[in-house]
Amino acid sequence: MPGGAAAVCVPDGTEARTCASDTECSGIERCQCGRCIVQACDAGTVCPAGQACRGGRCTGGCTQDTECDGGDICNGGGCTHPCNGDGDCLHGEVCDFLGVCAAQACGPDASCGAGSTCEPLAVDGDVREPTFATVGDETFLFFELRSRDSSAVYRARIDTPLHLTADPETPVLSPPDGHTRVGAPSALVREGTVELIVAVGSGDSLGLATSSDGGRTFSWTSDTALVAAEPWENGWIGAPAVFEREGTTLVLYEGGPGAGIGLAMAQDGVLTRLSPAPVLTAADLEDASFWRSMQSIGSPFVLLTGDTTRVYVNARGIEAGTAVTQSGPVAPVLNDSVGLFATTDLDSFDRFPTGPIYSATSGLFGSLGEREPAIRITDDGADLYFVATDASGAQSTGLSRASTVR
């Protein structure tokens, strides 16, 4: 929360009311990250219109008690509630020594006192590896939510193409025992059952999990359905893409990382490689004019169209030409973009002939990055969801969307 307090003290044992909008909250509480809590603030915070930062949180400004609602009083230029204990205050407030409710900021350098816990207002996470699944009439999105030390799989409701809501708010699949990470979900729906193929650990293995409640909860079938074993995989496998073809469940996956795309068959909770070598490598995308110096390939996504299997990938290479400026030529740089192959037999793959199918430019000096594609076909056209990055690929800027619909 730029310019504002990031966490506040809450009394032990208290829980916030869940919400979808501010109207479901009380008083000066706001709906933040799915629960009602006061909007903590400091001198650098810009509070909502008509409010001021007083008592460590955004509240109505005042000069006298009559300007406050619901029995609140004017204290220090802001409306607040008189209290005899923490239970008289809103979530995110405590009853201070003056007998009024106020927010107490906390963090690594400012702990809460006995009987209170430091609760973050928001936690930064990296949304990665989106994929779609349709159960009945509802299409929803699974994704990996990654932090520095852990990751888990979540499910999102598609309210509009540009607004997703975690449903439920908690992970639908957490790491198995002995691991801190699980992610890169790929879903297959059969007879109402959702089957997930996921990456376990930091490239340790691919795992399988199933759900019978529309993807809201999953049970592990195996967390070691396939482990890195071939030399080209370099001890790392991940980013699976599961699909069904002619009654057989198949999985494309990334090895390396970025060294190639492998192919396996799923049966009875086990994945078996159909080839010891990758079926696709970065060199298969090389083109003298449109995509050059290919460095890596990964994160396959499969879309079936009749007898054709389309395989979307993210790959790293050079796609722009040299820019000419007043100071002289500026050479293009490597960046990530989305590529496409098509196959009818899973033996030979035809690449899209003119380089990436989607690429965002950043002026004359190169292109931005697009990773981990997922495609959704609708009645109106096609949506591409992807993880957007800067040109270097080092900084992810979140989940983005491109569309054929204008």
| pLDDT higher than threshold 60 for residue 4 | no
Closest CA relative to residue 346, chosen from 372, 301, 310, 305 = 310
Mean pLDDT of 163-189: 93
Within a 10 A sphere around the Cβ of 292, how many other Cβ atoms?
17
Which whole-number Å values give the CA distances from 76 to 54, 59, 64, 80, 183, in the listed order? 7, 11, 10, 9, 48
Q: Do residues 312 and 373 touch, judged by C-beta distance below 8 A?
A: yes
What are the structural domains, with CATH classification, of the chain?
Answer: 7-120 (no CATH), 125-277 (2.115.10.20), 280-406 (no CATH)
Mean pLDDT of 14-42: 88
Of the candidate ranges 23-32, 188-197, 364-373, the one whose mean pLDDT is the lowest: 364-373
Mean pLDDT of 164-189: 94
Q: What is the mean pLDDT of the chain?
A: 90
Q: Do residues 278 and 256 touch, judged by C-beta distance below 8 A?
A: no
Which whole-number Å values give the CA distances from 377 to 209, 304, 380, 382, in the listed order? 25, 11, 8, 4
Mean pLDDT of 131-159: 92
Closest CA relative to residue 401, chosen from 69, 210, 229, 158 = 158
For 87-132, write each residue's pLDDT tens digit.
999 999 999 999 999 999 887 777 888 889 998 887 778 899 999 9
Mean pLDDT of 168-173: 90
Q: What are phi and psi of 65, to 5 degrees?
A: -60, -35
| pLDDT higher than threshold 80 for residue 364 | no
In angstroms, the CA 19 to CA 159 distance is 15
44-81 as b/e: b if 16+ CB within 10 A:
ebebeeebbbbbbbbbbbbeeeeebeeebbbbeebbbb
Q: What is the pLDDT of residue 241?
A: 98
Q: What is the pLDDT of residue 317?
A: 92
Q: Do residues 318 and 310 touch, judged by C-beta distance below 8 A?
A: no
pLDDT-derived band at 2 (thresholds 50, 70, 90) equals: very low
Q: What is the pLDDT of residue 197?
A: 98
pLDDT-derived band at 45 (thresholds 50, 70, 90) equals: confident
Mean pLDDT of 271-277: 96
Q: What sign for the dihedral angle of Cα 261, 391, 165, 121?
A: positive
Mean pLDDT of 278-301: 95
Q: What is the pLDDT of residue 333?
A: 81
Residue with the larger pLDDT of the pair 273 and 47: 273
Q: Do residues 29 and 38 touch, judged by C-beta distance below 8 A?
A: yes
For 308-326, write each residue's pLDDT tens digit.
999 999 999 988 777 677 8
